[in-house]
Amino acid sequence: MSGQLAGQRALVTGGASGIGAEMARRFTREGASVVVADVNDADGKQVAIEIGGEFAHLDVTDSDAWNQLIANSEPFDIVCLNAGVSTHQNVIGSTSNYPLEKVDNDAYERIMRINVDGVVFGARAVIPTMVARKTGHILVTASLAGIIAIAPDPIYGLTKHGMVGLVKSLGPALEPHGVCISALCPGFVDTPLVSELAREYAKTFSMGVLEVSVAGDLAMRALSERIPGSQWTVMAGQPIVQYVPAPPFG
């Protein structure tokens, strides 16, 4: 199969729906063979069947499961650490009287394990093989909330800022080994996580809600540019751009 990713193998976590499923479809169209990984077996298998790929049941919070998956798989050229959740059922899914009012220990531990541990465990599992082969690209699905404030869901913002920081730091550390890592930082994307409240919130910033197809474009831009530690942003009606913060030192 021809395409920009012809002959490459890709792994997409959270691939059963939303951004992950869209990236799996786009990578397939670009010629890659894709493994869809998720805890949602039914939807994940359906996406895998649709794209002619493979499905792997994977709880990203289980480091042993990560190690087993990588040990039993052919090397991956592209790994998308995409699985993620919001603090509540939806991004900005409920109003509160004050910050952190509804964030109990269970909610906090759930989002931290999936959004933070899941990415760290995944990166830790896939990096050794990529370094040994001196090739590979890791994509981390962060969010515009990893760059700007998201007052209605501070813990979601915490996890996504953490992922941007991880990518920025791993970028120069992996570059000498031929491995690249990039962060995808879209605004609100039309997925089940985006509630009606979130859509209204987006309007206050004139951001709007992005079609899910932009996820594939965003991933392909990061893969094409291959800039270590880079963050790629896009908002509704705006082009995809690399976010380059001003350095704190003169």
Q: Among all residues, which ones are annotated catalytic?
A: 156
71 — alpha (psi -120 to 50), left (phi > 0) or beta?
Answer: alpha
**Do 191 and 198 touch, CB atoms closer than 8 A?**
no
Residue with tokens 């030192």: 249
Q: Kindly list the distances between the CA atom of residue 247 and the CA atoms of 1, 178, 221, in Å, as whole numbers in the listed order.
A: 43, 25, 24
DSSP 21-45: HHHHHHHHHTT-EEEEEES-HHHHH
Q: Cα–Cα distance between 71 and 79 in angstroms, integer? A: 14
Q: Which residues pair with 185 in a beta bridge?
A: 233
For residues 160 and 103, the answer to whether their CB atoms sit within 8 Å is: no
Closest CA to 130 of 160, 185, 82, 173: 173
Nearest-angstrom CA–CA distance, 240 and 227: 14
Cβ-contact 163, 114 below 8 angstroms: no
Q: How far apart are CA 235 and CA 250, in angstroms?
A: 30
Segment holding 165, helix H or strand E: helix 154-174
